[in-house]
């Protein structure tokens, strides 16, 4: 039988394909246009720079599924489905190109010979991969029932549609092969096997042609129906996910955007959905509801009301509900900030529960940005309504009056430095580093001992440094993360002015929160300094042999990755190298590096009570205790305090000690002092 008769059945069928295709593309485009209009309700934001760099950064997550494959089974299933349909779509386009263009116009058929055999084999493998992926997704949703994934009728309907499209394609191929029986079609192994089954069942040629004709139309309608649903279902992420990846923030991971022209601003933060930027609204439609942000969220894992996934989906629901009225210029009652968004769809307690640990953003495969949304809502509550937890009154007042979230003034900082004989930047010349001591060292005796241990190490290596003493003020991290952007900018601008006035170029920092702020956020106010974390400098000094080490074994320790050192700034190996150089055998905790579990002190949470669920520091302390290590090393003053308290709260007979990486190294360095 001629190939054309098998492929198209009747002559007029070919004339219907393209109009139907065009109509369904228009239907899908209309749905996409409707969402686009809603995104445009958001505030302006520039995301169109460095197009080539953005494209390169998008190809890996889209083509290689680098983000999705962090979770093995769902990642593999999505990878098989994506590439299965990609090859099947390409194969269908090649058939259409040959049968409707090259063959009738030029008499040219390129689907022939060895190329056709390879083409047939690849498409069969692609179809089989797609079916396997659908079955795996069905198992994950219906049998395994991952807690982060919530099934909706839409999800199972789409899986059923995909399954019918794939099976229908194989039936179509099997009917064609069973009629024509060319020996070379053995290169279509699935279709060939099904064809042999049809023939073995005694299906005659007429029935095979009827099956082929009916299935052809059904397969076409299902496949085109799939296309038409793209603009109205979760299939929209086929377009929004790559777009969201392409438009990802190219700012440092730990940097929050400032409120521009703060003195002239009419609104602060976000109290209504249309006050988010257009990119933040696009985020809500890029979300695939996979639940990975929620799975890794310390607040959610300790029974707090915060789910990063729910925040994003609630914003999408609010946009969908309020958007039509906003597009017409109406102001429905539901648009009041309390009723519509904060205190309505989104609980205030959820907004304050975030530790800004960045686990949600680290594990989102489509680059949804959760933290800026939560901080923007905090900004609205703090600056526009003066509505925030009562515990924050004291740190805000202390920051404003004394430049420290604890009641420690400049004189106390100066006295602390003087008692330890630390050189003041204003009194020396030619020091290589300004050591930014940080508030914790001056306010907390335990962290003060860490700072004292640190002071010995640059001296032992011959590195010159000095401190600001009474001239040092809080970097502003707690104020910014807690939503008090006005107070943060006052602190940051004053500090930048001080540092510039003193001619500072290189800054040594131990606290990861200070490190992140000085390195990633002070450039927003003209503060461009070379900022170095202690683990970076100490690692370099060890490599250069400038820190002579004692002989012998340094023992065994667990290591806890601080969020602001790791996920926010990518420093995972540097502290481990310092510990290894000190002769320490490191035990890795169950959740480490990118999956490290927060101590609970970030995002200003050190000043907030945990009244719901389990305490985050206790949850992490249990993981430390379960490791069996006699001690756990940290590289952050907040982590030191939070884990010390968390282990004490567990009431263990012999709890692991909590030490700083700096202390471990200081004990192992040979002293040059007489």
**What is the rounded average pLDDT of the residues 492-513?**
95
pLDDT score at 114: 87
**Domain 273-388 in the same topology as domain 8-41+51-245:** no
- Considering the entire predicted model, what is its pTM? 0.90
pLDDT score at 153: 81
**What is the rounded average pLDDT of the residues 68-88?**
91
Q: Please report the beta strands in 344-495, taking only residues with DSSP state E, as ranges in sequence order.
A: 433-436, 465-467
- Classified as helix, coil or strand, 31 is helix
pLDDT score at 127: 93
DSSP 202: T
Contact criterion met (CB below 8 Å) for 532 and 504: no
d(CA 665, CA 578): 7
CA triplet 536, 555, 635: central angle to 5 degrees?
30
d(CA 643, CA 649): 10
More confident position, 1 or 426: 426
Q: Is a pLDDT exceeding 50 seen at residue 9?
A: no
**What is the rounded average pLDDT of the residues 79-85?**
93
Q: Is a pLDDT exceeding 70 seen at residue 587?
A: yes
Q: Under 8 Å CB-to-CB from 78, ≥6 apart: which residues?
A: 65, 68, 133
664 closest CA partner among 477, 512, 453, 413: 453
Q: Is a pLDDT exceeding 70 seen at residue 14?
A: no
Q: Which two tokens stand for residue 66?
A: 């680098």
pLDDT score at 330: 65
pLDDT score at 104: 79
d(CA 338, CA 359): 28
Taking only the tens place, the pLDDT of each residue in 198-227 is 888 887 888 888 888 788 888 888 888 888
Rg of the chain over CA atoms, in angstroms?
Answer: 31
Query: What does the domain layout of the chain look like in residue ranges?
Result: 8-41+51-245, 273-388, 392-543, 556-668
230 closest CA partner among 31, 80, 37: 31
Q: Is a pLDDT exceeding 90 seen at residue 308?
A: yes
Residue 445 vs residues 243, 450, 602, 607: alpha-carbon distances, Å: 49, 9, 20, 18
Q: Is a pLDDT exceeding 50 seen at residue 10?
A: no
pLDDT score at 548: 85
pLDDT score at 1: 34
Q: Is a pLDDT exceeding 60 seen at residue 109?
A: yes
d(CA 220, CA 590): 49
Taking only the tens place, the pLDDT of each residue in 252-271 is 999 999 998 888 877 899 99
pLDDT band at 528 (very low <50, low <70, confident <90, very high): very high
Q: Under 8 Å CB-to-CB from 134, ≥6 apart: which residues?
A: 81, 159, 162, 163, 166
**CATH code assigned to 8-41+51-245:** 1.20.950.20
pLDDT band at 146 (very low <50, low <70, confident <90, very high): low
CATH fold for domain 556-668:
Rossmann fold (3.40.50)
Q: Which two tokens stand for residue 228?
A: 């038409």
pLDDT band at 670 (very low <50, low <70, confident <90, very high): low
Q: Is a pLDDT exceeding 80 seen at residue 600?
A: yes
Q: Which two tokens stand for residue 409?
A: 């003034």
In this structure, the strands spanning 465-467 and 433-436 are parallel
pLDDT band at 671 (very low <50, low <70, confident <90, very high): low
> Among the ranges 102-106, 461-465, 513-517, which has the highest mean pLDDT value?
513-517
pLDDT score at 640: 96
Q: Is a pLDDT exceeding 80 seen at residue 316?
A: yes
d(CA 595, CA 667): 29
In CATH terms, the superfamily for domain 273-388 is Alpha-helical ferredoxin (1.10.1060.10)
pLDDT score at 204: 81
pLDDT score at 15: 65
Taking only the tens place, the pLDDT of each residue in 28-69 is 899 999 999 999 999 999 998 889 999 999 999 999 999 889
d(CA 525, CA 476): 13
Tell me how crowded residue 267 is: count the other CB atoms within 10 A of its CB: 14
CA triplet 504, 507, 513: central angle to 5 degrees?
130
pLDDT band at 488 (very low <50, low <70, confident <90, very high): very high
Q: Is a pLDDT exceeding 70 seen at residue 6?
A: no
Mean pLDDT of all residues belonging to the chain: 89
Q: Which two tokens stand for residue 31?
A: 């749905």
- Classified as helix, coil or strand, 386 is coil
């Amino acid at each position: 039988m001629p190939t054309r008769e098998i492929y198209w059945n009747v002559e007029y069928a070919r004339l219907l394909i393209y109009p139907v295709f065009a109509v369904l593309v228009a239907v899908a485009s209309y749905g996409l246009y409707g969402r686009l209009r809603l995104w445009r309700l958001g505030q302006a934001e520039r995301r169109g720079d460095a197009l080539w760099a953005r494209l390169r950064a998008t190809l890996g997550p889209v083509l290689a599924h680098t983000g999705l494959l962090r979770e093995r089974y769902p990642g593999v299933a999505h990878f098989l489905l994506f590439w299965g349909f990609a090859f099947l779509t390409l194969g269908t386009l090649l058939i259409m190109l040959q049968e409707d263009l090259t063959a009738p116009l030029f008499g040219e058929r390129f689907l022939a010979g060895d190329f056709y055999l390879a083409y047939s084999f690849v498409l069969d493998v692609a179809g089989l991969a797609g079916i396997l992926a659908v079955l795996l997704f069905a198992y994950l949703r219906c049998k395994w029932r991952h807690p982060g994934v919530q099934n909706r009728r839409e999800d199972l309907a789409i899986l059923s549609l995909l399954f019918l499209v794939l099976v229908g394609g194989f039936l179509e191929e099997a009917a064609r092969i069973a009629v024509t029986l060319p020996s070379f079609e053995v290169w279509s192994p699935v279709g060939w096997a099904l064809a042999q089954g049809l023939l073995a069942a005694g299906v005659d040629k007429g029935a095979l042609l009827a099956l082929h004709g009916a299935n052809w139309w059904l397969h076409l309608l299902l496949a085109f129906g799939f296309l038409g649903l793209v603009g109205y279902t979760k299939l929209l992420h086929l377009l929004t996910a790559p777009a969201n990846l392409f438009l990802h923030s190219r700012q440092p991971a730990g940097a929050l955007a400032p409120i521009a022209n703060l003195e002239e601003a009419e609104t602060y933060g976000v109290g209504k959905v249309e006050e988010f930027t257009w990119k933040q609204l696009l985020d809500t439609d890029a979300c695939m509801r996979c639940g990975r942000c929620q799975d890794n969220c310390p607040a959610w894992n300790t029974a707090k009301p915060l789910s990063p996934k729910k925040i994003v989906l609630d914003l999408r629901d609010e946009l969908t509900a309020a958007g039509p009225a906003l597009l017409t210029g109406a102001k429905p009652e539901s648009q009041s900030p309390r009723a519509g968004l904060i205190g309505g769809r989104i609980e205030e307690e959820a907004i304050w529960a975030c530790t800004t640990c960045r686990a949600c953003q680290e594990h989102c495969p489509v680059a949804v940005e959760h933290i800026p949304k939560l901080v923007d809502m905090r900004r609205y509550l703090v600056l526009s309504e003066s509505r925030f937890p009562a515990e924050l009154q004291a740190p805000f007042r202390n920051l404003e009056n004394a430049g420290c979230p604890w009641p420690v003034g400049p004189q106390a900082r100066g006295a602390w430095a003087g008692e330890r004989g630390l050189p003041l930047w204003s009194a020396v010349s030619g020091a290589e580093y300004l050591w930014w001591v940080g508030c914790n060292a001056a306010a907390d005796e335990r962290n003060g001992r860490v700072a004292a241990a640190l002071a010995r190490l640059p001296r032992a290596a011959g590195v010159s440094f000095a401190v600001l003493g009474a001239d040092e003020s809080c970097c502003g991290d707690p104020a910014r993360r807690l939503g008090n952007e006005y107070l943060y900018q006052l602190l940051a601008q004053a500090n930048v002015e001080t540092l510039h006035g003193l001619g500072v170029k290189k800054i040594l920092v131990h606290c990861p929160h200070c490190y992140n702020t000085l390195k990633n956020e002070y450039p927003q106010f003209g503060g461009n300094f070379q900022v170095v974390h202690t683990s970076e400098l100490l690692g370099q000094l060890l490599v250069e042999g400038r820190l002579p080490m004692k002989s012998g074994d340094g023992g065994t320790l667990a290591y806890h990755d601080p969020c602001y050192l790791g996920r926010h700034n990518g420093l995972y190996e540097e502290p481990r190298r310092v510990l290894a150089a000190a002769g320490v055998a490191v035990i890795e905790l169950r959740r480490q590096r990118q999956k490290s579990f927060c101590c609970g002190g970030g995002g200003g949470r050190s000043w907030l009570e945990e009244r719901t669920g389990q305490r985050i520091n206790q949850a992490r302390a249990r993981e430390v205790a379960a490791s069996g290590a006699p001690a756990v090393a940290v590289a952050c003053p907040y982590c030191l305090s939070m884990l010390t308290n968390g282990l004490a709260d567990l009431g263990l007979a012999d709890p692991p000690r909590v030490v700083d990486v700096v202390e471990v190294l200081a004990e192992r360095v040979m002293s040059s002092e007489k």
